[in-house]
Amino acid sequence: MPDLKAGFAQVDITPEEPIRMGGYGGRDEPSVGVLDPLMAKALAVEDAGGERGVIITTDVISFDLDFANVVLDDICKATGLERRQIIINSSHTHAGPIFGIRYQQCWELTPEQIEVIERYNKRVRQRMVEVVADALADMKPAELSWATGSTSFVMNRRKPTPTGVRNAPNPRGYVDRSVPVLRVTDPAGRLRGLLFGYACHNTTLGGANRMISANYAGFAYRYLERQHPGMQAMFLMGCGADANPYPRGTYDLCRQHGEALGAEVQRLLEEEGQEFQPVRGPLRIAFDHVDMPLEPQPTPEHLDAMRKQGQYYAKQADRIQAMIDSGKPWATHYRSPIAVWQFGEDLTLVRMSGEVVGDYIRLIERTIGPLNLWVAGYCADYFGYLPSARVHREGGYESHEFITGFGFLDVTVEDAVLSKVRTLAEKAGRPMPDTK
Ligand SMILES: [Zn+2]
């Protein structure tokens, strides 16, 4: 008899009217149509002791903390779950709406555009509660197992140049090509659902696109759902902050990459001798916040340099100046949620906030050991990029992003994050390597 139960649900969150689109700074006109639907999907699990956890995957750019807090409150009130038991991951599609509360502030929007976003927010709020309640209502005895494959359309995008690191393909740069897959079957072995991950920006469609799409991630889960009618496939974004699909720019490439990812999951399911390892309970969740150190208040020279980087950064510089002018003391830390979910001795899921650069895969492996490890980035709180110390020192796109209303992460952020991951992994009972 399985010691875990699982439940699935999904709900459509495609915008119903033209809406301003998130992700690319230069795109200032609303969407003009829909290529494929945006979804919110939930996987609920419960162990023999009654501990529950819900993973929600969403085809949106991000869940900022302010909006996530509203949604999490709704979910907790409606279901009795606690915040520590809920993961909201975003696929980071760059062909979806600007939405949320804090993220909205990064953009220049007309009152009418804000109204559209508010209407969309309201709808997503309701649907998120529904999808979690539906997944909990679907809870049935389940066998969980996992395996890891690989696919190679991910490309490092930190290209060294004589004038510093540029955002461009870097074929020799590090990427995480792994495709972790969690398989959920009923006790008779019938496939009920799949959760799979990849560490790559969901940006196959570029900044000129004004059609709504779940990007490559959508093609991947739809591919799998076609192979297994009635089964629910879900995409969990990994640490892909400094990685893009390659090549990119067209809907055909979106399909090609997404179906390559889906086909790799399918290959794992079909391949003779492929060993899916059992994932058993108990589920132990260690949840906390990490106080990430911030750099001191930016200097006038720093703000001048930002103003020269284009409109998006110039506006940021103006907002920072307004913060300085307000006379409020500059914050020393930014506090963000982080968690480790431990399934028996079988699998550790590290749930990271923000856009996490690929270095953290290797750093976390070094910190808590490489075995039975799955690291998800892009979970709410989405605050912007989480650089490693290396990326911070090298500079470039992912190294210094302003956290709206707070500041810039300091180079010591890596130590703060890793030490919290280690503490949480110990607390959750992950079998730890001897690192002495
Ligand atoms: Zn991004």
Distance 253 CA to ligand 1 centre (A): 19
Provide the 3-class DSSP secondary structure of residue 297: coil
Structure tokens, 161: 């140049």
Query: 113 CA to middle of ligand 1, Å?
Result: 22
Dihedral angle over CA of 411, 416, 422, 423, nearest 10: 180
Percent of the chain scoring above 90 in pLDDT = 92
Distance from the alpha carbon of residue 431 to the mean position of ligand 1, in angstroms: 32
Centroid of ligand 1 to alpha carbon of 64 (angstroms)? 13
Banded pLDDT at 271 (limits 50, 70, 90): confident
The pTM for the full model equals: 0.97
CA of 138 to the centre of ligand 1 (A): 33
Look at residues 9, 247, 265, 264 and name the one whose alpha carbon lies nearest to residue 139: 9
> Does 252 sit behind a cis peptide bond, omega within 30 degrees of 0 on the bond before it?
no
For position 50, what pLDDT does the model report?
A: 97
d(CA 312, CA 369) in angstroms, rounded, equals: 40
356 C-alpha to ligand 1 centroid (Å): 9
Ligand 1 center to 279 CA (angstroms):
31
Distance from residue 35's CA to the centre of ligand 1 (Å): 21
pLDDT band at 280 (very low <50, low <70, confident <90, very high): very high
**What is the DSSP track for 2-48?**
-SEEEEEEEEE---SS---B-S-TT--S---EESS--EEEEEEEEET
Distance 204 CA to ligand 1 centre (A): 12
Q: What is the pLDDT of residues 333-361, one digit of tens each?
A: 999 999 999 999 999 999 999 999 999 99
Position 138 pLDDT exceeds 60: yes
| Span 89-127, pLDDT tens digits | 999 999 999 999 988 888 889 999 999 999 999 999 999
Q: Tell me the mean pLDDT in the region 33-59.
A: 98
Centroid of ligand 1 to alpha carbon of 140 (angstroms): 36
pLDDT at 268 over 90: yes
Angle at 126 between CA 125 and CA 132, to 5 degrees: 95
SS3 assignment, position 90? strand
For the cut 60, the answer to whether the pLDDT of residue 332 exceeds it is yes
Ligand 1 geometric centre to CA of 386 (Å):
10
In angstroms, what is the span from residue 355 Cα to ligand 1's centroid? Answer: 6
User: How far is ligand 1, taken at its centre, from the CA of residue 202, in Å?
Assistant: 8
H-type alpha helices, 228-346 = 251-270, 300-307, 311-325
398 alpha carbon – ligand 1 mean position (Å)? 9
Q: Give me ligand 1 centre to Cα 268, in Å.
A: 28
Q: How close is the Cα of 241 to the center of ligand 1, in Å?
A: 6
Return mean pLDDT, the chain: 96
Rounded (5°) CA angle 45-47-49? 140
Confidence of residue 432 (pLDDT cuts 50, 70, 90): confident
Ligand 1 centre and the CA of 201: distance in Å?
6
Angle at 215 between CA 212 and CA 221, to 5 degrees: 115
Query: What's residue 104's pLDDT?
Result: 86
- So what's the pLDDT on residue 1? 61
The CA 23 to ligand 1 mean position distance, Å, reads: 7
* Surface-to-core class of residue 217, CB atoms within 10 Å of its CB (0-12 exposed, 13-18 middle, 19+ buried): buried
Angle between helices 300-307 and 311-325 (to 10 degrees): 150
Q: Please report the DSSP string for 144-179 in residue order.
A: EEEEEEE---EEE-EEEETTEEEES--TTS----EE
Classify residue 199 by its DSSP letter: -
Whole-number Å distance, alpha carbon 322 to ligand 1 midpoint, is 25
- Ligand 1 mean position, distance from CA 265 (Å): 24
Closest Cα partner for 158 from 391, 400, 410, 409? 391
Q: Which residues surround ligand 1, an ion (CB under 5 A)?
A: 355
Does residue 14 surpass a pLDDT of 60? yes
Q: What are the pLDDT digits (tens) for 48-101?
A: 999 999 999 999 999 999 999 999 999 999 999 999 999 999 999 999 999 999
How far does the centroid of ligand 1 lie from the alpha carbon of residue 242, in Å?
Answer: 8
Distance 368 CA to ligand 1 centre (A): 26
pLDDT value of residue 435: 57
CA 382–ligand 1 middle distance (angstroms): 10
Who wins on pLDDT, 313 or 292?
292
Distance CA 225, CA 233 (A): 6
Q: H-helix or E-strand containing 113?
A: helix 111-137
> 307 alpha carbon to ligand 1 midpoint, in Å?
21
The token duo for 368 is 């808590």
Question: Ligand 1: distance of its center to the CA of 385 in Å?
Answer: 7
Tokens for 228, please give them. Answer: 């297994």
| Least confident piece of the model among 209-218, 289-298, 393-402, 409-418 | 393-402
**pLDDT at 436 > cutoff 60:** no
